[in-house]
Structure 1
C-alpha cells in the first residue's frame, strides 16, 4: 500500500517520514518533490500550474499510489480537484487542520508566503459552512527569504515571533498555514492553541489509502 506525497520543498520529506514512523508504521510513502510548481504558482497563480500538478499526480497514480497527499498549501486546492479524474483520493494536507480550526470563533492565519493566504482562507470558509468565525491573517515579513536561504532556525524563529504577537486575550486559535512552519509551534510562548497540518493531514491520507487498498 503506497501513499504518494507531493511536496514543493525537500524539507518535508524527513518530517513526514518521521510522522509515518511514529504513527503509521508499515505505510509506504513515495515522495515527489516538485519545487518549480510553487515557484510558478507564486509568479503567476495556482491555477496556472493546474495542468502540471495534474501530470505529477497522474504519474504517482500510474506508479501505484493508492492515494495522494499534497503538502503544499498554495497548491492543495488545485490538487484535490483532480481526484475524480485520477480515480484515487487526492487530499490537501491542511484540510483536517482547517476542520479543527473552524470550531473556534476566532482564527488567526500565519503564513510565510502570500500565495498561501487566499487558498487557506477559501479552505477555512469551506470548512466553516454556515458558521462565520472571525478570520485574520498575518504574513511573516522576511521569513520565506530565510527559508530559501536554508536558514531553518531563523525561519522558525520569525514565525514563532509573529505568533507570539497575537493578542491572547482575544481568544481563538492560531493556524500555521504551511507545513514547513510546524516546528515553530514548539518555539512559541502563546497560551493559544497553535495548529499545524502535517500530523492531521498524514493521518487522513493514510486512512484513505487503507480504505482504497482494502
Structure 2
C-alpha cells in the first residue's frame, strides 16, 4: 500500500486516475491536510516540519510500504522525516526535477504560490549537483492562478499557467512546480518541454511501495 499526503482534496482524483491508468492494483491511502500549506505559506516550510512529520506518521501503519508527499512547498521537510518513520518518503517533485536537469541547463520554473519557489529552486540545485550538470533556473509566480485554483476553477488556473508557459521562449525546459498545475500542459502550444510532477512522482512512489522488503 502507498500512502499519499496532500494539501488539497483536489489532488485525490488526479492521483487515483493516474493509478488506474498506470499502476492498476496499487492500493492508495490518501491523507489531506490543507492547513500544512496554509501555514507554510505564512510562516515558511520549516515552521510546519514537526506537523508534517506528525501527519506522515498518522498516514503510516503496518500495511503502508511508502509515502508520497505531493505538495512541493513541504516536500523537503517531508523527505527529511523518512528516518523517523521507518518507510521511504518520496518527494513528489524530485523525479520531475531530475528530468528537468537532464533535459537542459536553462530551466524556467512556474508556480502559483510564492512559497513553492525556494524549495523548488533548491531541489533543482540539488539534482544538478547529483548529476554534475550546470543549470540556470529562473522562477515566476503566475498571477491569479492560485485564486482560481482555490475557487475550484481548475481549468481557469490551468489556462493562466499555460499562457505563462507559452510566453517562455529562452528555456530548454519548463517546470510546473506544483502538482495542481499539471493539467496546464494540455493547453500549452509551446515547443519547449513542459514537465509536471504527478505522473513521475507516483511512478517513483509505486516502485518504492512494491520493492521487496529487507
* TM-score calculated relative to the size of structure 2: 0.96
Partner of 2:175: 175
Distance 1:66 1:212, change over 3 A: farther
**CA displacement at 1:64 relative to structure 2:** 2.9
1:32 and 1:23 mapped to 2: Cα distance? Answer: 21
Distance 1:206 1:213, change over 3 A: farther
SS at match of 2:175: strand
Partner of 1:138: 140
Partner of 1:162: 164
2:101 and 2:162 mapped to 1: Cα distance? Answer: 22
**CA displacement at 1:63 relative to structure 2:** 5.8
Instruction: Provide, for residues 16-68 of structure 1, a one-character-per-residue CA deviation record: whole Å limited to 9, x for no partner.
Output: 00110111111000000000100010011101111111011111113631100
Partner of 1:191: 191
Runs of 4+ in 1 over 2 A off after TM superposition: none
Distance 1:35 1:120, change over 3 A: same
1:19 and 1:198 mapped to 2: Cα distance? Answer: 8
SS at match of 1:137: strand
> After the TM superposition, which residues 46-65 of structure 1 pair with which residues of structure 2 at under 5 Å, given as runs?
46-62=45-61, 64-65=63-64
Q: What CA RMSD, in Å, does the superposition of the two structures yield over aligned residues?
A: 1.2
2:44 and 2:199 mapped to 1: Cα distance? Answer: 27
> After the TM superposition, which residues 112-127 of structure 1 pair with which residues of structure 2 at under 5 Å, given as runs?
112-127=112-127
SS at match of 2:5: strand
Distance 1:56 1:171, change over 3 A: closer
1:183 and 1:80 mapped to 2: Cα distance? Answer: 25
**CA displacement at 1:171 relative to structure 2:** 4.2
In structure 2, the gaps of 5 or more residues are: none
SS at match of 2:110: strand
* TM-score calculated relative to the size of structure 1: 0.96
* Match for residue 148 of structure 1 among 147, 150, 167: 150
In structure 1, the gaps of 5 or more residues are: none
Instruction: Provide, for residues 46-104 of structure 1, a one-character-per-residue CA deviation record: whole Å limited to 9, x for no partner.
Output: 01111111011111113631100000000000101011111100011000000010011
* Contact 1:67-1:212 within 8 A present in 2 as well: no
